[in-house]
């Protein structure tokens, strides 16, 4: 399972790359806006940090505009994956991108049938939002399991990119559910190695060792 960072903060991405925890990056309009930087500038800088897939999301909504915007984003670097919303216009644009050899991440997926139409449109990635389903008391991880089952039965090759991951627990559950990749904020990725019993156990080993040296 690939680990993607869901952030547009380049300092966070450099740290994660140094730790070997960066297989790719996802961004969205909210994250780019939060960075306070221009979309093209920040995507170019991110693509220089990782050679893995970097999702850059369009902010247009009508097919022709999405296609024009996505082509400009794809021209920034060879590892850019154009991210489009799961709408009729988004999927029409997806088919146009696929015909031009541009990889697409279809985002804002909240149901199995949405994931199926995205696969039929040739998406390289489908992004089901686990945390936002949990937020409204639905079972986000159940959606990952359902998509995995349907894609395997139908032999769709679209990769399942579990998004809106809010915790280390989410990441473990996504791995069991068969996600091909997960995307999470840097803080969640940095938390994957942590366990209070690891910290307590290490402290005890160190104090026992130090005491024995006296």
Q: Is 129 in the site for ligand G3P (CB under 6 A)?
A: yes
Give me 68's structure tokens: 């024009």
Among 94, 147, 163, 189, binds ligand G3P (CB under 6 A): 163
Least separation, in Å, of the C-beta of 132 and ligand G3P?
A: 5
Give the position of tokens 């960072």: 5
Among 7, 50, 121, 164, binds ligand G3P (CB under 6 A): 164
Stretch that binds ligand G3P, among 64-72, 128-136, 191-199, 204-212 (CB under 6 A): 128-136
Strands 80-85 and 2-6: unpaired
Long-range contacts of 140-148 (CB under 8 A, 24+ apart): 140/164, 141/170, 141/173, 141/174, 141/177, 143/109, 143/110, 143/111, 143/112, 143/115, 144/174, 144/177, 144/178, 144/179, 145/177, 145/178, 146/112, 147/112, 147/115, 148/177, 148/178, 148/179
What is the distance between the alpha carbons of residues 151 and 153, in angstroms, rounded to a whole number?
6
Least separation, in Å, of the C-beta of 21 and ligand G3P?
A: 16
Q: Is 7 in the site for ligand G3P (CB under 6 A)?
A: no
Stretch that binds ligand G3P, among 59-67, 159-167, 190-198, 204-212 (CB under 6 A): 159-167
Least separation, in Å, of the C-beta of 71 and ligand G3P?
A: 22
Least separation, in Å, of the C-beta of 100 and ligand G3P?
A: 24
Site of interaction with ligand G3P (CB under 6 A): 6, 26, 28, 129, 131-132, 163-164, 166, 183
Catalytic residue set: 83
């Amino acid at each position: 399972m690939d680990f993607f960072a869901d952030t547009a903060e380049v300092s966070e991405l450099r740290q994660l790359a140094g730790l070997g925890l960066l297989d790719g990056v996802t961004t969205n309009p909210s994250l780019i806006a939060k960075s306070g930087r221009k979309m093209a500038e920040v995507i170019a800088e991110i693509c220089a940090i990782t050679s893995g897939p970097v999702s850059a999301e369009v902010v247009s909504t009508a097919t022709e505009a999405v296609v024009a915007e996505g082509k400009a984003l794809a021209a920034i670097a060879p590892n850019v994956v154009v991210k489009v919303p799961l709408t009729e216009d988004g999927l029409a644009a997806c088919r146009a991108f696929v015909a031009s050899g541009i990889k697409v991440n279809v985002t804002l997926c909240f149901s199995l049938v949405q994931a199926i139409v995205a696969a039929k449109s040739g998406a390289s990635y489908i992004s089901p939002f686990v945390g936002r389903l949990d937020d409204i008391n639905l079972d986000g991880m159940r959606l990952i399991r359902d998509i995995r089952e349907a894609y395997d039965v139908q032999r769709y090759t679209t990769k399942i990119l579990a998004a809106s991951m809010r915790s280390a627990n989410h990441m473990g559950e996504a791995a069991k559910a068969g996600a091909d990749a997960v995307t999470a904020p840097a803080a969640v990725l940095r938390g994957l190695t942590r366990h209070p019993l690891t910290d307590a156990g290490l402290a005890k080993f160190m104090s026992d060792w130090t005491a024995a040296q006296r």
